[in-house]
Structure 1
Amino acid sequence: MSQASFILSAFDLNLWCSVLESKFMVDDLAALQAIIDADTDDDPDFAGFYSIDPDELIAINQRFDVGFDPASLNLPEIEIWLERERKGRSIRDVPYLVHTNFELPLMLEGRKKLARFTDILPSTEEAFDRWVAKSVLHKEVFVEPIPEALKPFAIGPNHGAIRDVYYTLKGEEWRIPAMNLLWRAGGGWNEHFERLEGMLFGYEDWQIDWWIAHRNEQSGGIGGVPFCCTVDSEGLKWMELAGFKALPPLAEIQIHIYDPDEDTVAAALLPEDECAVALARFKLSLEMQRKLLDGNTRGPWQINREQIPDINRHLKRQVDVLFRQSAP
């Protein structure tokens, strides 16, 4: 019987972070769904976050032998949450504490210098504002109208502006205009912006180095949509001679979106092309992404030989070869 991994967490409403977690295996999803009365129509993959009341926690502990005991913390205000562990790109797989959901305690310890929230939840803002009122943290708010191009993707018809809320430690206020400038620079997010953002947040150099290397390995670079295409033996040899800095302008190619969590799907593109010997992954500038995605956001895209030099001028970094096979 297949099993799924779930996580119970105790969330401290004063420090606004998880203070206790326990992972457990579930061999009967229906039993867990019945305990928490989960709506299988709204969440068929059981991938949502669920607030757990005391009776539900007792039932989960008994049915799945978890032994989760948040009462032992003797904290006045906590909430219990249940989530299914995500495969592949979970922040729990990172070899250091990612600031996400731990912003407030890290700032109070002086380890985090800056926090930035877009359309922050009122409860989150209230938790941080308590420390602004105590003159421990500094706060600034920026409200900008949603650009016309993004209005179709807005949360709702009344969501006409983006509200960014910044918090810093006292004495670190300079980080806010620096971060604002970074986000307004335009031209598409890249590895250099990612490094500067990490420094402004307060991450250590080795942590930023690991994160960028990890993103390069997992999705082909920082920022934007990763793409892939198959190449034949002549094209692969051309790429090798070019130092993997360009796609081979030898024939038409079909470009697909690459999903780092679906390697098996990407690998399946090879046998579909009888001439293919490798799968190449690459990232493009924001300008070229918009040009490529115009009118077709899911792909694939057929690129003729004359268009490939233009594609190559907009590559953000080297081309990665993910899968190889013997020439047919």
Structure 2
Amino acid sequence: MALGLTAAAPCWAAEDEPAPAPTGERPTETEPPKTHGAPSYKKAKAAWASGDMATAEVFYREGIAKGGLAPDEVLESYVRLGTARLLLGRKDQALTAYRAAAVIDDAFDVPAEGGPRAVTLADTAKKDMASVGSLVLGLSCPSRAKPGEAFTVRAKVDDNHARVLTRVGLSAKDGSTGRELYFSAKSAQAVEFEIPAKAVLPGSTLVVRVDALDSHDNRLASAASRVEVSGTKPVPPPPVVAKAKPPPKKEPVGFFRSPWTYIVGGAVLAGAGASVFLLTRPTDDVTIGAVSVRAR
């Protein structure tokens, strides 16, 4: 099913036209949007494939509410949500879902499962939202950068959608290491981001993406570009392999340094002690004071 929206919205080159002046707040570094809605989205697709519209409706709605969906997933969710509701006899709710889809892309297609009724209702939703139009998100950034130097990225959103979006986000991801920095600011027609020097490493390729985010951190649209950083990637030093030390040489053990020294020595001492005892043993007659006692 063609949904009429790709994952990346149009970009414009920095030299094509003067960049709009920033109109929003200064972006701050934040965590990237969490894809909490992904499990529900997968369940919804499975239910849709099996023809279970009631279950698909529940999970498409849940996936949108939990958030973090990609642009094509968001549009698909709204379009199929509207179609499932129509097939379940909930026409008014179906129209609401189709209107939400039209705000993202006013040229969306309805799935064949909906039949002529879905086409008619979708056309009504598109007419209702014609004054808003499709979401337009632009990105301006250099194609090359110098290592260790910060550079500027600008995002612009059409006026109608700048009013209904919650945030505009920016992802800067190193293509080789996978390390990602994320920044966001309150939605505005023009938002200016600065990629910090710490992210601009020699010889790296940065994938820079701006996101139009709703209140659930769903990406309603995204625009991406690559920035090549000059220089050569530092070659990591070879791993240090610790050489095993040879076992210390064992000196020959003399007789008197062996355990036998103690045993034999003890026997000798015992024998010597016995000899001393025999030589110094008192006689059987022991005199204690004036009393004489004979030992038996």
Report TM bin, short chain.
under 0.3
Higher relative contact order (CA 8 A, sep 6+): 2
Which TM-score applies when normalising by structure 1? Answer: 0.21
